[in-house]
Structure formats: structure tokens, C-alpha cells
Amino acid sequence: MDITICHLYPDFMNLYGDRGNIIALQRRASWHGLHPRVVPISVGEEYDLRSCDIIFMGGGQDREQRAIARDFDDRYRVMNEAVQDRVAVLAICGAYQLLGRYYRTAAGEKLNGLGLLDSWTDAGAPRLVGNVVVESRLDGTRRTLVGFENHGGRTYLGPAAAPLGRVLAGHGNNGVDGQEGAVQGTIIGTYLHGALLPKNPWLADYLLGQALIRRGARHQLGALDDTLEVSAHQAAIRRARG
């Protein structure tokens, strides 16, 4: 079965190994017997995002966010249509911020977001940096997520968005409320770099599973040998708890 993974702005939004998430999705899709195709989409390139099965967008600094903000805003209609059509979305750091209502930079500039997440972000100090461990129940089972955060933004959630998880180590969305990331409909936003999916294979399979559910496919994701992935996951937990 073919599966299409759309990578938004790979030339602008790719901090701290975020491109590794695309590689992880490709590899795991193949190991599960699927046939993945990656479509890179950059500034000015038109594409019907409803033809995607998964949309991924990585992180970027203020300069990169500013560079793509206008183009991203112009994609509101097709992005909203894709979300309404239940396309799975994973957005990291700067992309997570731009899916919310706005991101206000350290210089005071307000970058309007798409408002597809009930969230908003204001720059703050100091930067929130380090390894993170999060307890998540995204798939109905209590699991841990690990990653690396490095962000000046403080993100807050409105009532329509739920946190991706509860911070066990690290800072999370804002370093105050103990929440990390956001989930709303088929959108997952998070500050976890590192790359996220290689060390959290259950989340990669969750995204692939959501894509198959949307298609009404009978293909089932079987168990894989995740010995190396689990070892990396546990090592990240030990580092974070140091």
C-alpha cells in the first residue's frame, strides 16, 4: 500500500535533527510493508495537502519562521482542509508555534499563526534547554516520550487543545504548568527535537496508524524488533534524569 508523507519547508525548518523524523517514518512504513513516498514542499510551491497521509514540519529559529510565515499563512485554506479531512500532522517547535494563534518574537514582532491549534506563544527568557521526558496517553496507553528542547517561546494552551503529555523531566511548553506539546484533532505539536520519532517508535507507528485509519485501509501494523530504539529511549531517560 502506498503512503504519502508531505514534508513542509525542509529547506527552512530543520533544527536539531528534525529531518530524522522523515527518515524514521519512511523506514518504519517500509518495515510494516507499506510503500512510502516523501513529497518536499517549499515556499511558493502549490500542493493539495489532502493528498497527503501525513504532514510533517520541523523547527526553525525566528529568522526561518519569519521567512516562511507569509507563505504558511497563504496555505491556511489547504492546511485547514487537510486537517478537516483528518490528515495526520506532526509539527515540531517553530512549526508548532505557527500552528497556534500567534508567535510573538523576542523583538516584539507578532507572527500570525494559522490558529489550527488553540495555543499562543510569547518569547521569554531564559531559553528552555535540555533533555525532556514526558508521560503521554495519546494512544490510550500510558507511555513515555523523550527528546531535546531548545526554545525561548512560552506556549500556552486554550481549552480546545489538550497537552501531548505531562513533563517528568525538563521544561515543556512554558516551564510553569508542567505540560508539553498539544493535541487537537489530528494535529500533534511538540517542542521535542532530537529527532523525536527514532527514539519514540510508538509515536511513529501511531502516525502511520492514523493515516491508515483515515484511508479505511485493512492493512495492520505488526510488531517490529525495536530493541535498538528502546535502548536509545531508555538512554535518553537516564540522561534527562541525570
What CATH number has the domain bearing residue 225? 3.40.50.880
- DSSP lists the bridge partners of residue 8 as 41, 57
Q: Is 151 a catalytic residue?
A: no
Q: Cβ–Cβ contacts within 10 Å for residue 159, how many?
A: 6
Q: Can you tell me the distance from the alpha carbon of 192 to that of 148, in angstroms, rounded to the nearest whole number?
A: 5
pLDDT over 80 at 82, yes or no: yes
Higher pLDDT, residue 17 or 11: 11
Cβ neighbourhood burial of 107 (10 Å; 0-12, 13-18, 19+): exposed
pLDDT over 80 at 206, yes or no: yes
Set 6, 32, 93, 233: catalytic member: 93
Per-residue pLDDT, 80: 94
pLDDT digits (tens, 9 = 90+) for 36-51: 999 999 888 889 999 9
* Phi, psi (degrees; rounded to nearest 5) at 77: -60, -50
Higher pLDDT, residue 1 or 225: 225
Q: Can you tell me the distance from the alpha carbon of 144 to that of 234, in angstroms, rounded to the nearest whole number?
A: 10
User: Into how many domains does the chain fold?
Assistant: 1
pLDDT digits (tens, 9 = 90+) for 16-36: 778 899 999 999 999 999 999
pLDDT over 90 at 89, yes or no: yes
Identify the three-state secondary structure at position 32: coil
Range of weakest confidence among 21-25, 64-68, 149-153: 64-68
Cβ neighbourhood burial of 174 (10 Å; 0-12, 13-18, 19+): buried
Q: Please check whether residue 193 is in contact with residue 59, taking contact to mean a CB–CB distance below 8 angstroms.
A: yes
Q: Is 52 a catalytic residue?
A: no
Percent of the chain topping pLDDT 70: 99
Interstrand relation of 110-112 and 102-104 (parallel, antiparallel or unpaired) = antiparallel
Whether pTM > 0.75 for this model: the answer is yes
Q: Please check whether residue 87 is in contact with residue 54, taking contact to mean a CB–CB distance below 8 angstroms.
A: yes
Percent of the chain topping pLDDT 90: 77
Identify the three-state secondary structure at position 166: strand
Q: Cβ–Cβ contacts within 10 Å for residue 35, how many?
A: 10
Range of the domain at 12: 2-241
